[in-house]
Structure 1
């Protein structure tokens, strides 16, 4: 099957690489630096159990999506509408678009632009771009998918590529669960530039996390979203399972790139305002990240 990745960062390269390793025809659409490296040397996927260079196609042009039956949309949340507009002229009518993005509303935003079937997915993977055309996998890798017409086919295809996946009847609640984890970790990891294991050892950090989670739960309840019951315990456990992981927000700040904080803590703040739920802890974290983001990597 031809599979395309729109937004070939760490997440897109990991899953694209795993699918290429399973024998699928994979094309990555990304930035010139990464595209040039992949064209020259292949995609280097450095995982826990192997380190391989994979022969995948790469392009800076969304026209490379032509003929793909499955498209993994992995662009930053702030680029969703732009990416959708770029993809639309090149997507086959029967293409399935899988949103592998942070935040809770990207699939909905894609559907406003694309006539194709769009499915939200919740991503649990620790990965980073270690250099041009080089993705390093630190752990996990499972996906939770929303219901769709090809759900069973997708689960089997991903499983055959070494990617555990399941279809969930209410993916919105699972997306919110991931959002809460990101709200608890990403901003503080970014501001401190510390991996999760070190972060939670900081004075007052777990107390702030509990405040953030409590606000998120209050907003979710007001919005009618059924969040997993054990989410607070899941948040507090995460550092032990990913002690060396830096959040994507931390990686963005370190490289002077725009972050997705507007679609994480910022989203909770906006929904809280709309629903009359106060979110002071999320507001402070969102504000601080935006201040640092504006300074650039050497500010």
Structure 2
């Protein structure tokens, strides 16, 4: 299968790398420094189980996606529209797009922009980071929850070592992941602490409980059916990913814009529209925006 990865950061390189390792023809579409490193020396995929360097194609141009049967759409949520517009002329009519993104509405936005494509939202649970140009460091997990439109992809993912399942309630699963992100991402970024250390600090668990309660209230008002008690998942995440810094923390530490508008900011906006107070999410959103604007 020919596979393109649009937005070849940590998530895209992990899943693209796993599929390339299984023998598929993968092209990474990303930023120049990363692309140049992969073109020069390959993609280093360093996991708990293996450390291999893979030879695969890389490009800075969306045109590299031409002919791909599967496209892993991994750009940051604020870039969804621009990336979709850039890809539109190059997409094969029957190509399947998997939105491997944070937030709850990216697949809907993609369907509006690319109405002739098959699109599946994906809930992603993986702890990864780019340790340097062309160097993916995997800390743990790596499973996906997909919509029924992507069911035929399950054997391909399984053979590549990517656990995946189909859910009739991906919207609920996306909201469950959003609640995890709202509880951890901003706090990890502001404190510059990994999850395991973060939850040990005084006051943090109580703040997380406040954030979760607000998110749950907004989700219920939206008619979302959450698949499980999100507070249990929040309490357990630090145990399964103790050394992980949130993606928001990684962005801030690298001086990059964050996705906070699509995390706590999304809950804040929907709460305002529905008449539900979300003061904890408002404070975290505001603090991250201030940190983004801080010089240096």
Q: Secondary structure at the match of 2:12?
A: helix
**Correspondence for 2:27:** 27
**Correspondence for 1:182:** 181
- Please tell me whether residue 96 in structure 1 is matched to residue 124 in structure 2: no
Q: Say how many residue pairs are matched.
A: 295
**Correspondence for 2:166:** 167
For residues 257 and 184 of structure 2, the distance between their equivalents in structure 1, rounded to whole angstroms, comes to 17
**Correspondence for 1:191:** 190
**Correspondence for 1:281:** 280
For residues 294 and 22 of structure 1, the distance between their equivalents in structure 2, rounded to whole angstroms, comes to 42
- Please tell me whether residue 141 in structure 1 is matched to residue 142 in structure 2: yes
Q: Secondary structure at the match of 1:23?
A: coil
**Correspondence for 2:106:** 106
Superposed CA offset, 1:234-286 (max 9, x none) = 10111011110000000000000000000000000000011111000000000
Q: Which runs of 5+ in 1 are unaligned?
A: none
Q: Where has structure 1 moved over 2 Å in runs of 4 or more?
A: none
For residues 165 and 71 of structure 1, the distance between their equivalents in structure 2, rounded to whole angstroms, comes to 16
Q: CA deviation at 1:228?
A: 2.3
**Correspondence for 1:129:** 130
Superposed CA offset, 1:80-109 (max 9, x none) = 000000110000000000000000000000
Structure 1 range deviating more: 223-232 or 119-128: 223-232
For residues 222 and 292 of structure 1, the distance between their equivalents in structure 2, rounded to whole angstroms, comes to 31
Q: CA deviation at 1:7?
A: 0.1
- Please tell me whether residue 37 in structure 1 is matched to residue 37 in structure 2: yes
For residues 278 and 206 of structure 2, the distance between their equivalents in structure 1, rounded to whole angstroms, comes to 15
**Correspondence for 2:84:** 84
Q: CA deviation at 1:3?
A: 0.4
**Correspondence for 2:59:** 59
**Correspondence for 1:227:** 226
Structure 1 range deviating more: 228-237 or 134-143: 228-237
Q: Secondary structure at the match of 1:112?
A: helix
Q: CA deviation at 1:78?
A: 0.2
| Aligned-residue RMSD, C-alpha | 0.6
Q: Secondary structure at the match of 1:239?
A: helix
When normalised by structure 1's length, the TM-score is 0.98
- Please tell me whether residue 271 in structure 1 is matched to residue 270 in structure 2: yes
Q: CA deviation at 1:146?
A: 1.2
Q: Secondary structure at the match of 2:93?
A: coil
Superposed CA offset, 1:199-231 (max 9, x none) = 001110000000000000000000000012321
For residues 229 and 140 of structure 1, the distance between their equivalents in structure 2, rounded to whole angstroms, comes to 19
For residues 241 and 112 of structure 1, the distance between their equivalents in structure 2, rounded to whole angstroms, comes to 36
**Correspondence for 2:69:** 69
For residues 156 and 245 of structure 1, the distance between their equivalents in structure 2, rounded to whole angstroms, comes to 29
Q: Which runs of 5+ in 2 are unaligned?
A: none
Q: CA deviation at 1:22?
A: 0.1
